[in-house]
């Protein structure tokens, strides 16, 4: 059974308590807030033959088949490999499943994650099933970036925003999930995860805080001209490009914010506050705006899995960042 998260209680009652279900739902929101768990919980409830209130019973034939991953009326569509697109042939197989009659004489439930992983041909292949689903079929589409979905996909679904928990609720949950971590470490993890508690747990497991220390130390040396961009590029090889661009975009935004407000409470994490404040006072706003535009453009390419030369892209980033400390 999927885990139930406390910040989803109201949404769960709203979704699972519907007398009649839509043929397709788009569950969207930031990564790491439990959308997949919510979709799986709803999937179990929809397929259960003996529901207990809003929840699946866990004991009927349908629940046992789901637990074993062999339910004939359930279909999960995901990329065949991590960070790869969902291909059109995969969607065609899904369409073939949708037009079949339910084998347990109930409804069929399809789960697709992430929706934005479908390329254009794959998304177009799904449209007919969204327009005219066969029989009693419910499609649960999960998206971390709904802006990347085709408007025609979104318009054919009931769009449901999934809530980001409050900081207090997230920290309380993290205290139970990561009891060996200190309150300060959990606060930092939640900051790095942009408030998404499940992503914070994944970052802890992946050693992201240590990677952050590596990047921060390298950036400080770069600005002091103690290391060259090419050398630092090699040092930062273990760090994912998505993380690097997230952090540099964040720092550029913090610099701009401080230049406009002089609010020392808005300098971000302690590890880079002095650097942010220093660059805000030393660098013209026009240069910060230019590098921010460049960062956002390159970050979009990284997020869309474009075929990029990592070393050249990262060195270009570090060359531009190093130039901020050089008077012009």
Backbone φ/ψ region at 137: left (φ over 0), alpha (ψ -120 to 50), beta: beta
Mean pLDDT of 157-174: 94
> What confidence category does residue 1 fall into, taking pLDDT thresholds of 50, 70 and 90?
low
Q: What is residue 327's predicted lDDT score, i.e. its pLDDT?
A: 67
Model confidence at 46: pLDDT above 70: yes
Residues 182-224 have pLDDT tens digits of 999 999 999 999 999 999 999 999 999 999 999 999 999 999 9
> How open is the CA angle 272-232-265, to the nearest 5 degrees?
5
Q: What is residue 135's predicted lDDT score, i.e. its pLDDT?
A: 73
Residues 225-277 have pLDDT tens digits of 999 999 999 999 999 999 999 999 999 999 999 999 998 888 888 899 999 99
CB 197, CB 3: distance < 8 Å: no
326: which 2 tokens? 């050089």
* Model confidence, pTM: 0.84
Residues 182-191 have pLDDT tens digits of 999 999 999 9
Q: What is residue 108's predicted lDDT score, i.e. its pLDDT?
A: 92
Mean pLDDT of 84-95: 91
Burial grade of 292 (CB within 10 A; 0-12, 13-18, 19 or more): middle
Question: Can you tell me the distance from the alpha carbon of 244 to that of 250, in angstroms, rounded to the nearest whole number?
Answer: 10
Percent of the chain with pLDDT over 70: 98
Between the alpha carbon of residue 34 and those of residues 11, 75, 78, 176, the distances in Å are: 12, 19, 17, 16
Between the alpha carbon of residue 271 and those of residues 166, 218, 251, the distances in Å are: 24, 12, 11
Model confidence at 303: pLDDT above 90: no
Q: Find residue 112's DSSP bridge partners.
A: 77, 141
Mean pLDDT of 136-152: 92
Mean pLDDT of 122-141: 86
Q: What is residue 328's predicted lDDT score, i.e. its pLDDT?
A: 60
- Higher-confidence position of 106 and 226: 226
- Please state, rounded to an integer, the average pLDDT across all residues of the chain: 91
Q: Which domains does the chain have, with CATH numbers?
A: 6-161 (3.40.50.300), 165-206 (1.10.8), 208-323 (1.20.272)
Q: What is residue 134's predicted lDDT score, i.e. its pLDDT?
A: 72
Q: What is residue 39's predicted lDDT score, i.e. its pLDDT?
A: 96
Residue among 247, 238, 213 at smallest CA distance from 318:
247
> What confidence category does residue 8 fall into, taking pLDDT thresholds of 50, 70 and 90?
very high
CB 54, CB 45: distance < 8 Å: yes
- Higher-confidence position of 81 and 65: 65
């Amino acid at each position: 059974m999927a885990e139930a998260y406390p910040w989803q209680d109201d949404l769960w009652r709203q979704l699972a308590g519907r007398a009649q279900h839509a043929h397709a739902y788009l569950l969207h929101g930031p990564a790491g807030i439990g959308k997949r768990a919510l979709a799986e919980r709803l999937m179990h409830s929809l397929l259960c033959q003996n529901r207990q209130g809003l929840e699946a019973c866990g004991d009927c034939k349908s629940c046992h088949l789901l637990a074993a991953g062999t339910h004939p009326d359930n279909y999960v569509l995901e990329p065949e490999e991590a960070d790869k697109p969902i291909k059109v042939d995969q969607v065609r197989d899904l369409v073939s499943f949708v037009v079949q009659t339910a084998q347990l004489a109930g409804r069929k439930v399809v789960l697709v994650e992430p929706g934005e992983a479908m390329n254009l041909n794959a998304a177009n292949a799904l449209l007919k099933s969204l327009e005219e689903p066969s029989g009693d079929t419910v499609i649960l589409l999960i998206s971390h970036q709904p802006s990347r979905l085709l408007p025609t996909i979104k318009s054919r679904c009931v769009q449901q925003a999934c809530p980001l928990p409050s900081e207090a609720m997230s920290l309380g949950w993290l205290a139970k999930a990561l009891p060996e971590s200190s309150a300060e470490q959990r606060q930092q993890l939640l900051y790095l995860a942009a408030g998404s508690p499940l992503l914070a747990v994944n970052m802890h497991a992946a050693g992201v805080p240590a990677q952050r220390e590596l990047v921060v130390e390298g950036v400080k040396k770069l600005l002091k001209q103690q290391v060259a961009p090419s050398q630092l590029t090699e040092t930062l090889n273990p760090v994912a490009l998505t993380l690097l661009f997230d952090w540099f975009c964040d720092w550029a935004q913090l610099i701009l914010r401080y230049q406009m407000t002089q609010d020392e409470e808005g300098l971000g994490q302690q590890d880079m506050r002095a650097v942010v404040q220093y660059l805000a006072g030393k660098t013209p706003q026009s240069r910060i705006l230019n590098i921010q535009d460049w960062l956002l453009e390159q970050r979009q390419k990284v997020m869309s899995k474009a075929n990029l030369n990592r070393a050249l892209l990262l060195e270009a980033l570090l060359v531009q960042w190093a130039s901020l400390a050089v008077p012009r």
